[in-house]
Amino acid sequence: MSHGVRIVEMKALLVSAEFNAQSAVGRAVRALGAALAERDITVLEASTVEDAQALIHSDPGIQCVLLSWSMGSEDDSHAGATQTLNLIRARNTNVPVMMMAGSGGAQLSAEVMRQVDELIWFLEDTTAFIAGRVFAAIKRYRDAIAPPFTRALIDFASKYEYSWHTPGHAGGTAFLKSPVGAAFHDYFGENLLRSDLSISVGELGSLLDHSGPIGESEKYCAKIFGGDRAYSVTNGSSMSNRVIMMASVTRGDYALCDRNAHKSTEQALTMTGVVPTYLVPSRNHLGIIGPIHAKTLSEASVKAAIDANPLAKDKAKKAVHAIVTNSTYDGLIYLVPRVVELLDKSVDRIHFDEAWYGYARFNPLYRDRFGMYGEAKDYPRDKPTIFTTTSTHKLLAAISQSSLINVRDGRNPVPHARFNESYMMHASTSPLYAIIASNEVSAAMMTGVGGVTLTHDSIQEAVIFRKAVWRMRRDAQIRGDWFFSTWNADVVTDPSSGKTMAFEDAPTELLSTEPSCWVLQPGQSWHGFADIEAGYCMLDPIKVSIVAPGIAEDGSFEASGIPAMLVTAFLSQRGIQVEKTTDFTILVLFSLGVTRGKFGTLVNALLRFKEAYDANTPVAEVLYGHGEAVPEAYNGVGLKDLANAMFEQMKSSNILRLQALAFSSLPEPVMTPADAYSKLVHNEIEEVAVDDLAGRVLANAIVPYPPGIPMLMPGESAGAADGPFIGYLRGLQNWGERFPGFGRDTHGVEVKDGRYFVQCLK
């Protein structure tokens, strides 16, 4: 059993039509492949242009390409080589490409020469010499692409130094002293354990003072993401949001807070003692949370909101900080320069929570719709300072808990030394170095054409899926039947030709590259945000909401409907896990990790659901696994029967209207979240049933999923017994009792025998 640090293999692609030829060229090509193998270089062979291009698409681990100039057709003996070379450079501008020619007389155009690193004459140079050149080129390439901290970490782990510091497993050795430990060691591997090091390893730098290779890594990430500086975070964007807020505001300061915010924002409000004034986002007929309207962000509207806030005693005092979620869970993204323009007179610092949106900078489709827009050097320093949080593990390629904070300094900036005091309050003194490395590697993957290629592939797959669903829906409607749709415009216009067409008929390349196909415009019925400002908001195509029938565009119930939770349960039984389910929508994400054609399985599962629904197949057969207990309430009940019962309950209980009211109006704030938390810590609380909740002040937040944003914050009043907040909670309680197994997850609520209880202040 080997216990050495395994360095990634060297790999070269050798492209030639002469592999099997009994000729001088054929013998030279075969000899070159053997010579490379002797140097421990894995050789991939491609004898046709199609083979070569398939390997280039599928294997980013290729570190050198040796391409025969004589790859073409009878009409053009070099066309295949040129085409392959163009494909390589469209995906990777750095990988070394060596053009192989049979003799020194080959004529290459200036365009080809610009894309090639070396010419090799394999009938004139020795095989050993060429193999050496390839080996050296691979080494240079590997050194060049490894970002600073990752390179230092691999180098250190490769030295096999004896460990006299923490962690106690000492590079994995401790695990090998126990059978269960050995199994753990073999599963996770030598490399991970040898790179799990103490912060006392000085040559790797420190995460807490941002020195050495770690500091260089953060500078590297700042450059890639467009910030003046960046901070690598090892406890997710929850930590990132808390760090930013605690560096920017403190007790008694005023802050503007997007009500559509992650719970880490609520935690930051509690920790800082800030006085929040909430910005209420819009909401459409499907219950999808939209943007904060532009008019809400105007100077006059912000001043009016602070004036109306009973917790803001000093009405002349300005807010210091604003936090805005970009993108929303459902993929709605702002025109950021417009947001900055609107908030310019109201705050000095704007904090964009972009946890789910780290890829935006790397594709022109998203131009000006992310916090670090443009170039840092061009940002006017009299404009607000901008912070962004990026969960590099969510939709980029980093491992879990990886996050980046990016800062672009404008007026009233937070100096590094002060910012770092907040950072150190939250950062571990024992970080997992693999998280830091994956942070910068995920950034490195997005540099140059790599980021454009990776994001374009994701966008294109999402577009193809959306079009497939819409085509099936259209075919079903022609037959007088039903099918799902996806939430996007039903018609689009090609700006170059002025031609308007059905979404499913639009060219995939148009939909993948033209922002106007995704921008929400006023007067469009599909998005449901009637009074939205033109150009202000755009839908991100990779966040796909599958829409089940049941709700009309005017918000009224249709004659029949299919609650989306039934579809999600059906998909789960078939090994398909989705990101989020609302009453009539299912969110799926086309991240960088989505493979080509993967969506075919999802489309097939939607078709199978339709078949089961139309046939009224028993719930026990399609929603529960073998041997899984089926609630007695569903014995003998078909899928369509259950859907109808749920749909009728939605209509009769008015639960969707209550939800809309609960999330479009603000509760009465009685005290700040920080003051409410103080009472919670001192146990000045009591448990209250939802039926007795009228007028009570909450000790903790109530966060129903979906949509997963606070309905009631700590220190806010639950309102009247017949008000929307208590009414919605009562509706959720009744739903859970009526449909066992389909109850809603509501953070801050304890369920006892089907009844809801919450913590209130005494």
Per DSSP, the residues of 420-486 read HHHHHHHS-SS--HHHHHHHHHHHHTTSHHHHHHHHHHHHHHHHHHHHHHHHHHHHHHHTT----EE
The three-class DSSP label of residue 701 is coil
108, with CB counted inside 10 A (0-12, 13-18, 19+), is: middle
Rounded to 5 degrees, what are φ and ψ at 604?
-60, -40
State the DSSP H helix or E strand holding residue 269, giving kind and residue range, or none if neither.
helix 263-272
| Per-residue pLDDT, 3 | 36
State the DSSP H helix or E strand holding residue 105, giving kind and residue range, or none if neither.
none
| Per-residue pLDDT, 172 | 87
595, with CB counted inside 10 A (0-12, 13-18, 19+), is: exposed
Q: What are the DSSP E strand ranges found in 6-124?
A: 10-15, 41-46, 64-68, 97-101, 118-121
| Per-residue pLDDT, 75 | 60
Give, as one character, the DSSP assignment of residue 542.
T
Domain 452-650 sits in CATH 3.90.1150.10: yes
Encoded amino acid at 224, one letter: I
For the chain, which residues score pLDDT lower than 70?
A: 1-8, 72-76, 102-107, 159-163, 200
Which pair of tokens denotes residue 605? 């599962």
3-state DSSP percent of the chain in helix, strand and coil, to 5: 40, 15, 40
The three-class DSSP label of residue 29 is helix
Encoded amino acid at 658, one letter: L
CATH architecture entry for 654-761: Alpha-Beta Complex (3.90)
Give, as one character, the DSSP assignment of residue 340.
H
CA atoms within 13 A on the CB side of 72: 12
What CATH code is assigned to 10-145?
3.40.50.2300
Q: Mutual orientation of helices 148-157 and 212-225 as an angle, nearest 10°?
A: 150
| Per-residue pLDDT, 225 | 96
* Rg, C-alpha atoms of the chain: 29
CA 328 to chain centre: 11
Q: Are 585 and 544 spatial neighbours (Cβ–Cβ below 8 Å)?
A: no
| Per-residue pLDDT, 367 | 97
Q: Around Cβ 490, how many Cβ atoms within 10 Å?
A: 14
| Per-residue pLDDT, 510 | 98
The three-class DSSP label of residue 277 is strand
| Per-residue pLDDT, 5 | 38
| Per-residue pLDDT, 103 | 58
The three-class DSSP label of residue 253 is coil
Strands 275-279 and 229-233: unpaired
The three-class DSSP label of residue 59 is coil
End-to-end CA distance of the chain: 64
629, with CB counted inside 10 A (0-12, 13-18, 19+), is: exposed
* Edge-first strand listing for the sheet containing 585-589: 485-486, 543-547, 585-589, 580-581
CA atoms within 13 A on the CB side of 646: 26
Placement of tokens 């565009």 in the chain = 553
Strands 500-502 and 403-408: unpaired
Give the sign of the dihedral formed by CA 337, CA 339, CA 343, CA 347.
negative
C-alpha closest to that of 699 among 762, 746, 750, 615: 762
What CATH code is assigned to 211-446?
3.40.640.10
| Alpha carbons 166 and 679: distance in angstroms, whole number | 39
Give the residue extent of every domain in the chain: 10-145, 211-446, 452-650, 654-761
C-alpha closest to that of 277 among 297, 293, 295, 294: 297
* DSSP string covering 167-184: STTTTTGGGGGSHHHHHH
Q: Are 38 and 12 spatial neighbours (Cβ–Cβ below 8 Å)?
A: no
CA 636 to chain centre: 41
